[in-house]
Amino acid sequence: MRGVIAIARRDLRAYFSSPRAAAIFWFFLIFMGFFFNNFIHMFMQMTTQAPMMGGQAPTLEQLLKALFYNLHFILLLVVPAVTMASFSEEKRNQSIRLLQTAPCTALEIVLGKFFAAGALMGLVLLASAVYPLFTITHGNPDKMIILSSYLGLFLLVSSQLAFGLWVSSMTSNQFMAFLFTMFGLFLLLILNWMAPNLSGGGMTESVMKYIASSDHLDAFFKGTLSVAHTAYFLVFTGMFLFFTNVTLDSQRWR
């Protein structure tokens, strides 16, 4: 456990001692801000127009749900940027030898890296709460839904980070790590929509839909906490951390 903490602390500090953390915060918050601004305008417009046309005015929950949905797309670019260097950079500049010759197990190394990335993304999500807070100060959205959405987002980010770490552990090229992580995460996002075309329906389709992350996230955005959907993310995270562990361990044998 001491190894995990030491590695996590170093990695987290490394994010902040380079412009990487700043760039990630900037990118995430700016784009989230664009979306938020856009949705607020749309929201105002619809609120004034809907009664005139005899429709229902949109709710703040709908606004936030749209916002959170779009975060999924921003994360496609942010998460690979966070994990791409985790192992690739250490392999490229050979500093991985320090970890390999330390009396730490592969699992300790993987968890250290994962917690560092998780802490960074946790801080990013925390900072992003400024937008939902804005809606709370100016309106009255369901706070529980916001909390459950954030829980869902954090679970999503964890699973994405685990996947990114696995990709990073297989290459010494950061760019490749970025690219393949993004491909993989994008695939997981769109699998839901592609499933009907790729499969003949029935069992295959439902399995593919289950693998996709979007449906599980949906539940959190609706404010329902279910064991099944939480388990999906936890299992996904655990599985890819395990894969990373296996990859690291096997590299000692090549």
Partner 1 sequence: MIEVSGLSKNYGDLAALSNVSFTVEKGQIVGFLGANGAGKSTTMDILCGCIGADSGAAKVAGYDITEHPLEAKKRLGYLPDVAPLHLDMIVDEYVTYAAEIRKIDRSSIKSRVDSTIDKLALGDVRKRLIGNLSKGYRQRVGLAQAMVHDPEVLVLDEPTEGLDPTQIAEIRKLVRSLAGQHTILLSSHILSEVQNTCDKIIIINRGKIVTQGTYEQLAASMESGHIYKLKVARNGANAMTTLGRLGLQNLKAGANPEDIEFAVAASSGDQILDDVAKAVVDGGFGIRGLSLKTKSLEDVFLQLTK
Contacting positions for partner 1 (CB under 8 A): 2-3, 6-7, 10, 13-14, 17-18, 93-105, 251-254
Q: How far is the CB of 14 from partner 1 (least distance, A)?
A: 6
Q: Considering only CA atoms, which of 109, 65, 79 is closest in space to residue 186?
A: 79
Q: Smaller CB distance to partner 1: residue 59 or 105?
A: 105
**Amino acid identity for residue 234 in this structure:** L
Q: How far is the CB of 100 from partner 1 (least distance, A)?
A: 5
Q: How far is the CB of 20 from partner 1 (least distance, A)?
A: 10
Q: At a CB cut-off of 8 Å and minimum separation 6, what does 179 contact?
A: 80
Q: How far is the CB of 81 from partner 1 (least distance, A)?
A: 17
Q: Smaller CB distance to partner 1: residue 17 or 197?
A: 17
Q: How far is the CB of 4 from partner 1 (least distance, A)?
A: 10
**Amino acid identity for residue 122 in this structure:** G
Q: Smaller CB distance to partner 1: residue 17 or 137?
A: 17
Q: Smaller CB distance to partner 1: residue 14 or 179?
A: 14
Q: Smaller CB distance to partner 1: residue 53 or 252?
A: 252
